[in-house]
Amino acid sequence: MSFTIEEGTVDDWRVATDLMAEHVHWYKSYRDLETYWQAYGKENVSFLIAKGREKEFYGCGQVAKLNGHISTIGVYFVHPEHQGKGIGSAIFSKLIEPSVKEGRNIGLNAAPTMTKNYDCKAGFSKYPNWKIEVLAFKNFQTEKIEQLTKAATCRIIDRREVQLAKLIEYDSKIAGGFDRSGFVEHWTAHPDGVTKIALAANGDVIGYATGRLVKNDLFIFCPLYADDDATARQLILALLHRDNAVARKNGYFFSTTPTYQRLMTILSDFADVEHTTYRISQFTKEAPVPNSDKVYSISDIGLGFI
């Protein structure tokens, strides 16, 4: 089987985004790649793409080197017509090689069918004590928003109104002490996204959420971090408010096992909600220990380790 593997461009990302939505129902924004470059530094992000003789898409995969000696893998996908011919394994080896050489801890959010392969064949054998639960919401009832927003328990502000340092500090607390300043700065300003921050009466940050519009007109909550259910609810309502041009009535959350039942209860007040599937976080060296109890949706199902 003849194929080449090269560094993908923004145009390649567009092609991959369309094919992943069609074949595996993974929904990305066309502008995610450029946002990753900003968030992690272009030199720390690799988006590899396998192509055939006519430069047609065969498969792809992505890796980011994050602070704290963690690398994460995302969008590992081979077109169904070309699966089982060694293309995926070739992409994957090339993706992880630099991180392996640097002795990094590598993590990914595995589809259940791949967990055993990653564990037994590639050494992704360290697991946190939660799974990522995928919740789909539909038919968000906009008319209920006024009534529910009136019962607000905290102040919700826009991203430009918060001191970035305070937001970064909060994020790091939830992420188990990891410094994700680049991610927080740029992901919360995603061109297809909207970010809201929840403040306590004393001005402390007690939650934040970014929602972004992705392929198929869906709205993805990544992340939704909050100190309690009432704050999570306020952030959801604020993001889905009709004033946000990108907000949509249908979309997804990537919750953790400790929060997802509570999130289902919150959402069922104003939307139809369904638990669809799950992902398993797996690491090569050790599973980080974030504050998963406050993670109503992880930071990014692609490259986020929490």
Ligand X SMILES: CC(C)(COP(=O)(O)OP(=O)(O)OC[C@H]1O[C@@H](n2cnc3c(N)ncnc32)[C@H](O)[C@@H]1OP(=O)(O)O)[C@@H](O)C(=O)NCCC(=O)NCCS
Binding residues for ligand X, rule: CB under 6 A, are 24, 59, 76-78, 83-89, 92, 110-111, 114, 117-118, 121-122
Choice between 8 and 207, CB closer to ligand X = 8
Residue closer to ligand X, measured from CB, 92 or 170: 92
Token pair in block for residue 33: 């790649």
Counts for the chain of helices (H) and strands (E), in that order = 9, 13
Query: Which residue in the shown chain puts its C-beta closest to ligand X?
Result: 88
Q: Which two structure tokens, joined as six digits, stand for 299?
A: 């930071």
- What angle do the packed helices 260-267 and 229-240 form, to 10 degrees? 50
Q: Least CB distance from residue 154 to ligand X, whole Å? A: 36
Minimum distance, C-beta of residue 59 to ligand X, in the bound complex (Å)? 6
User: At its nearest, how many Å lie between ligand X and the CB of residue 122?
Assistant: 4
The residues near 137 (Cβ < 8 Å, ≥ 6 apart) are 250, 251, 252, 253, 267, 271, 272, 273, 274
Structure tokens belonging to residue 268:
């069922």
User: Measured between alpha carbons, how far is 116 from 146 in angstroms, rounded to an integer?
Assistant: 47
Q: How far is the CB of 22 from ligand X (least distance, A)?
A: 12
Non-local (6+) Cβ contacts of 268 within 8 A are none
What's the min distance (Å) between Cβ of 97 and ligand X? 12
Closest CA to 306 of 12, 220, 289: 289
The backbone torsions φ and ψ at residue 94, rounded to the nearest 5 degrees and listed phi first, read -65, -35
In the bound state with ligand X, the residue whose beta carbon lies nearer, of 86 and 191, is 86
**Location of structure tokens 């699966």:** 83
Minimal distance, residue 55 CB to ligand X, in Å: 18
Which CB sits closer to ligand X, 46 or 188? 46
Cis peptide before 223 (omega within 30 of 0): yes
Virtual torsion, Cα 293, 40, 59, 125, nearest 10 deg:
-40
Q: How far is the CB of 113 from ligand X (least distance, A)?
A: 6
C-beta of 88 vs 128, nearer to ligand X: 88
Complex with ligand X: residue 117 or 277, whichever CB lies closer: 117
Angle between helices 32-40 and 10-24 (to 10 degrees): 120
Nearer to ligand X, 27 or 140 (CB): 27
Question: With 0-12 CB in 10 A as exposed, 13-18 as middle and 19+ as buried, what is 103?
Answer: exposed
We find the least distance from the C-beta atom of residue 89 to ligand X, in angstroms, to be: 3
Q: Which is nearer to ligand X, 101 or 242 (CB)?
A: 101
